[in-house]
Amino acid sequence: MNKLSSNDSEEEASFRERYAQELQKKKQQASNSYRGDDELMDEKRRVNQQEMKTPGRRGEKIKQEELDREFVRRSKLKEVGL
């Protein structure tokens, strides 16, 4: 499903997969709307704040990578019209 980093341990790969699945379930508001929940952006803010508190933690780096992938995935889906 996801391309795993070649240097991920088995535990990291499992975490990455579970987190990616969790992100796919989160809601995202339309780019031209200022109303409604944007769970994906809220998650990004939480991860950014946690990363500032504990820089260099592997979990936060994996979360950032998966958040970026999810934003790209959704952008591509929007372009295709799915």
∠ at Cα 79 (16, 1), nearest 5°? 25
pLDDT band at 7 (very low <50, low <70, confident <90, very high): confident
- Residues whose CB falls within 8 Å of the CB of residue 1, separated by 6 or more in sequence, listed in order: 17, 20
pLDDT at 66 over 90: yes
At residue 1, the pLDDT reads: 44
Say which residue, 77 or 18, is predicted with more confidence: 18
Give tens-digit pLDDT for 11-62.
Answer: 999 999 999 999 999 988 766 556 667 899 999 999 999 999 988 899 999 9
